[in-house]
């Protein structure tokens, strides 16, 4: 699975002009399931995100996790993270999980996040969404967890 993590001061996602998920300070996480991913990849990715030390401690050093600072999580599905741009100018998305598997893994990821963290908001799988954020830092970190990744 792939995630693009953005440390934010606030973020929200809209569908058809209506806000469906919002957080204050925390992490906006764009999530993509790839072919071959399963529940274990989703769980490993979530564990890494929850413990990733990208918030400042009292000395200003990135040494605290989203759990340490009690920040929010806004989880948004985004299959375009699996884009292959190696050939030509039109990205290919063959590496992305098929929609049914992508939905199942995204929903599993969200359910596990809600069980492990007190503030979790989401986008809507497969919807045309507008994501609004105030990036803090900016801090933006890509993560990939796969069957062969550690």
Q: Domains in the chain, please, with CATH? A: 2-141 (3.50.80.10)
Residue 140 annotated among the catalytic residues of the structure: no
Please count the other Cβ atoms lying within 10 Å of the Cβ belonging to residue 41: 21
- Catalytic site residue 67? no
What region does 17 belong to: left with phi over 0, alpha with psi -120 to 50, or beta?
left
Distance between CA 3 and CA 129 in Å, rounded? 17
Q: Which of 55, 79, 109, 122 is catalytic?
A: 79
The residue annotated as part of the active site, out of 55, 78, 109, 122, is: 78
Instruction: Determine contact, residues 1/45, Cβ cutoff 8 Å.
Output: yes
| Active-site residue, from 80, 109, 125, 130 | 80
List per-residue pLDDT tens for the chain, 150 residues long.
999 999 999 999 999 999 999 999 999 999 999 999 999 999 999 999 999 999 999 999 999 999 999 999 999 999 999 999 999 999 999 999 999 999 999 999 999 999 999 999 999 999 999 999 999 999 999 999 987 444
78 catalytic? Reply is yes
> Could you read off the pLDDT of 113-124 as tens digits, one per residue?
999 999 999 999
């Amino acid at each position: 699975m792939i995630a693009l993590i953005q440390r934010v001061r606030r973020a929200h996602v809209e569908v058809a002009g209506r806000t469906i998920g919002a957080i204050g300070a925390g992490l906006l996480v764009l999530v993509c399931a790839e072919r071959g991913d399963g529940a274990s990849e989703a769980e490993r990715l979530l564990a890494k995100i929850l413990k990733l030390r990208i918030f400042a401690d009292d000395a200003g050093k990135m040494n605290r996790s989203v759990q340490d600072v009690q920040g929010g999580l806004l989880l948004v599905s985004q299959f375009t993270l699996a884009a292959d741009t190696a050939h030509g100018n039109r990205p290919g998305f063959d590496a992305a999980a098929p929609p049914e598997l992508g939905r199942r893994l995204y929903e599993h990821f969200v359910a596990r996040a809600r069980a492990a963290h007190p503030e979790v908001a989401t986008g809507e799988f497969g919807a045309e969404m507008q994501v609004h954020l105030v990036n803090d830092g900016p801090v933006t970190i890509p993560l990939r967890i796969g069957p062969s990744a550690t």
